[in-house]
Structure 1
Amino acid sequence: MLAPPPSPPPVRPSGLPERKRQLPTPFRHHDPLPEAVPATTAAVTICNKFGLYCKYQHRPSYNPDSSVPFDDLANQHPHSDEQVEQQNVEETNNSSPPWPFNSMAVHQLMSWMNTGSSAKTYGELDRLANIISSPDFDANDLIGFSAKRESQRLDTAKSEDCSGAFINGFTKTSVDIEVPSGQKGVPLQKFTVQNLLYRDLLDTIKLAFSHPLSLKFHLSPFKLFHVSDEQAEPMRVYSELYNSDSFIKEHDKVQRADLPSEETECKRECVVAAMMFWSDATQLANFGDAKLWPIYLFFGNLLKYISAQPRSGACHHIAYISSVS
């Protein structure tokens, strides 16, 4: 008795055979996930599985690595191979608009999103659709519309209202600077920079240390070492500002310094607030030429991976510098 013929492979609506979908090889074989250095209140910690350990000059009273959320260490891909294999999308090449959408309007919106700039997101498209479908939206108002012209109109309105909400908490002042002439015997020329906006540094430090993010601040610096095996010589590792020699040296000075005469009975811990400043020109809107030169402040007490997260709240605006002609 002959075996029945095998069933034909499944095909898509276009007539092409169904494809098996799976993650590329680099995404199916994960590297070992990172691990925080073991927490301790002693002067030297034990090694973690990567051979890293810490050595403190002064015993820490608090270690933020005692409970590090997994999301602060790695971004794990949420899909398994089985999940990816189930994501078989029906494809066709011979259908005309508005396929596969319910209307031509939806088809045009989706076509606009999938062409041109790759920076468009689903959220932005939803916002655009809500605007178009609102009762007070009239397409006739867009006849002759120019994005550049309207952006310039917005920039002009913002520049005429310097007391807007975006400068609340800043103090306005003027600063005199001396600029070299570049010629021998010609004295320096003094310029006055108007409308310099700044925020008090001490107030910013107080704000940062009272924020919930301060629970992740490293207040006690340490030296970080790596050992590959028990016989190998430990190797010094530099990964953060709080395990650098400069930070450790300044922290030691603070611990040995005498207290002010009016606070000889103070029992509060003395720590170093490591301030890192950065500046660059920043556009004030998605369109137009209006820009400022903000000065930003980050605290070196914080893990750099947390500081790099856009929504972590680790960045503080310290000053805005106006353009000097």
Structure 2
Amino acid sequence: MLQSQSPSPPPVLSKRSGRRVRMPARYNDFLPGSTTHLAHMPPSSRQKRGRASRSPSPAPIPSSPASSRDSAIEDTPTFTTEPDNIGLYRTYVRRPTHIPTDMLHTLVDAPTLDSGLPVDKCPDAPTLESDTPVDKHLLHGPPDPEPQFNYFSPFTNPSSALLMAYQYSGTNAKSGAELDRLPRFLNHPEFHAPDTIHFSHTREEQRLDKVLETVDKPFPLEHGWKCSSVKIPLPKEHCQFPSESDAPEFEVGGIYHRDLTDVIRTAFEDEVFMTYNTTPFTQHWKVGEWVQEVFSEAYASAEMRQAYDEVNTLPRESGDNLERVVASLMMWSDSTHLTNFGDASLWPFYLFFGNESKYTRGKPTSNACHHIAYIPKVSHLYII
């Protein structure tokens, strides 16, 4: 059953002239690079309303002979989207399996922003129809079995764990904004008010400290963490060696790390995969008869398209009809200060996926960063 739309708010009239007051265009919130429907897909209601003022869909811009590659993908038809509000459109080398929805409220966390409808309920969210229904389990796997252990360990109960999560998240000083976050924990399905009658912050903190005393707990093996060591060949003063293998070695132990393949598999099996761009494209800006290529995201770069072509031109085994995509890995490493007072620090090695929008990667609450390794510091090293 369709629900009627809420009535528009009454216009604001000027007290002096009586004319309608309009919001300046510079205050309109919108995402310049928002995606649109493919040209062969039915347009949305918003596109129908603005089609009269739009120019026809531009044809794909042919590539120069110098940049053409001898690839089977070049023989496949391209797909071009319609220009959006400011004239941006995309050209895909092949029909994408899905187009992530880039809505303003999904990319920013401004407290004054009206979030509006969720992404899956937004009428302007781009979708791609398929001839065959997609089984949800094929994308995300079967549902996880019920846990057979105390998942709230080391805390007393789930409610205590939730309160401790509230205590150690956010800022150090609980302001009004932090108080607004508390109902989200209190309304959690696992929160039970009777469990908090005898809640003690000191007791729960002692239980947490007792667990952290174990060395391997911060890097649990069940989460894919491994502990390894590496040997580094070092120079020696006033000595010359025939080869690098003959030089003295220094072994650095205590390096905790995770396999890249495990991190990639976990990310692509998670629901966040639906926000990844798996089919690279070229983006252009059309104003009248003038067309200019736009460089904005990693998945719209020439390097991404080249890697996509190379992966899809590799030989396939018989019966292999799976889609091949490129996982764009962005590695970073820098020292991280841990305390407000003192010099305690870590040297993490972390990963971002270039398949995700740079706006999402820059939003702290999106949890787009994946920890890969922690490098121990080695200083004051002398070889005698």
Distance, in Å, in 2 between the alignment partners of 1:255 and 1:137 is: 56
> 1:49 is matched with which residue: 67, 85, 104?
85
Describe the superposition over 1:63-91 as per-residue Cα deviations: whole angstroms up to 9, x where unpaired. Answer: 11xx33331355667399xxxxxxxxxxx
Map of 2:252 onto structure 1: 193
Describe the superposition over 1:276-315 as per-residue Cα deviations: whole angstroms up to 9, x where unpaired. Answer: 1101112344544332211101111000111112121211
Map of 2:337 onto structure 1: 283
Secondary structure of the residue that 2:83 maps to in structure 1? Answer: coil
Secondary structure of the residue that 1:258 maps to in structure 2? Answer: coil
- Cα RMSD for the two superposed structures: 3.6
Distance, in Å, in 1 between the alignment partners of 2:330 and 2:88 is: 26
Secondary structure of the residue that 2:305 maps to in structure 1? Answer: helix
Distance, in Å, in 2 between the alignment partners of 1:285 and 1:124 is: 23
Secondary structure of the residue that 2:36 maps to in structure 1? Answer: coil
Secondary structure of the residue that 1:277 maps to in structure 2? Answer: strand
Secondary structure of the residue that 1:177 maps to in structure 2? Answer: strand
Kindly indicate whether the alpha-carbon contact (under 8 Å) linking 1:197 and 1:320 is maintained by their aligned counterparts in 2.
yes
Distance, in Å, in 1 between the alignment partners of 2:90 and 2:237 is: 51
Kindly indicate whether the alpha-carbon contact (under 8 Å) linking 1:53 and 1:225 is maintained by their aligned counterparts in 2.
yes
Map of 2:35 onto structure 1: 37
How far is the alpha carbon of 1:184 from its aligned partner?
8.7
Moved beyond 6 Å, runs of 4+: 123-126, 134-138
Q: Against the structure 1 CA distance between its residues 119 and 161, is the aligned structure 2 distance closer, same or farther, given a 3 Å change threshold?
A: closer
Q: Against the structure 1 CA distance between its residues 181 and 44, is the aligned structure 2 distance closer, same or farther, given a 3 Å change threshold?
A: farther
1:73-112 alignment runs, 5 A limit: 73=107, 78=112
Indicate whether 1:320 and 2:374 are aligned: yes
1:1-325 alignment runs, 5 A limit: 30-31=27-28, 33-35=30-32, 36-40=34-38, 43-64=79-100, 67-73=101-107, 78=112, 120-122=173-175, 161-168=214-221, 169=223, 170-180=225-235, 185=240, 188-227=247-286, 229-232=287-290, 234-260=291-317, 264-325=318-379
Distance, in Å, in 1 between the alignment partners of 2:375 and 2:347 is: 5
Q: Against the structure 1 CA distance between its residues 265 and 289, is the aligned structure 2 distance closer, same or farther, given a 3 Å change threshold?
A: same
Q: Against the structure 1 CA distance between its residues 172 and 57, is the aligned structure 2 distance closer, same or farther, given a 3 Å change threshold?
A: same
Distance, in Å, in 2 between the alignment partners of 1:238 and 1:182 is: 50
- Report % sequence identity: 32
Kindly indicate whether the alpha-carbon contact (under 8 Å) linking 1:72 and 1:305 is maintained by their aligned counterparts in 2.
no
Distance, in Å, in 2 between the alignment partners of 1:225 and 1:31 is: 23
- Counterpart AA for 1:43: F
Secondary structure of the residue that 2:308 maps to in structure 1? Answer: helix
How far is the alpha carbon of 1:58 from its aligned partner?
2.2
Kindly indicate whether the alpha-carbon contact (under 8 Å) linking 1:34 and 1:73 is maintained by their aligned counterparts in 2.
no
Distance, in Å, in 2 between the alignment partners of 1:62 and 1:136 is: 49
Kindly indicate whether the alpha-carbon contact (under 8 Å) linking 2:30 and 2:104 is maintained by their aligned counterparts in 1.
no
Kindly indicate whether the alpha-carbon contact (under 8 Å) linking 2:35 and 2:102 is maintained by their aligned counterparts in 1.
no
Distance, in Å, in 2 between the alignment partners of 1:79 and 1:46 is: 27
Kindly indicate whether the alpha-carbon contact (under 8 Å) linking 2:234 and 2:248 is maintained by their aligned counterparts in 1.
yes
Unaligned segments of structure 1, at least 5 residues: 1-26, 81-117, 127-133, 139-154
Kindly indicate whether the alpha-carbon contact (under 8 Å) linking 1:56 and 1:223 is maintained by their aligned counterparts in 2.
yes
How far is the alpha carbon of 1:123 from its aligned partner?
6.3
How far is the alpha carbon of 1:178 from its aligned partner?
2.4
- When normalised by structure 1's length, the TM-score is 0.61
Q: Against the structure 1 CA distance between its residues 51 and 29, is the aligned structure 2 distance closer, same or farther, given a 3 Å change threshold?
A: closer
Larger Rg: 1
Instruction: Considering Cα pairs closer than 8 Å and 6+ residues apart, tell me whether 1 or 2 has the greater RCO.
Output: 1
How far is the alpha carbon of 1:59 from its aligned partner?
2.2
How far is the alpha carbon of 1:266 from its aligned partner?
2.1
How many residue pairs get matched?
232
Q: Against the structure 1 CA distance between its residues 259 and 29, is the aligned structure 2 distance closer, same or farther, given a 3 Å change threshold?
A: closer
Describe the superposition over 1:211-244 as per-residue Cα deviations: whole angstroms up to 9, x where unpaired. Answer: 11110000000011112x2221x21111111001
- Counterpart AA for 1:225: H
Distance, in Å, in 2 between the alignment partners of 1:221 and 1:297 is: 20
- Counterpart AA for 1:193: V
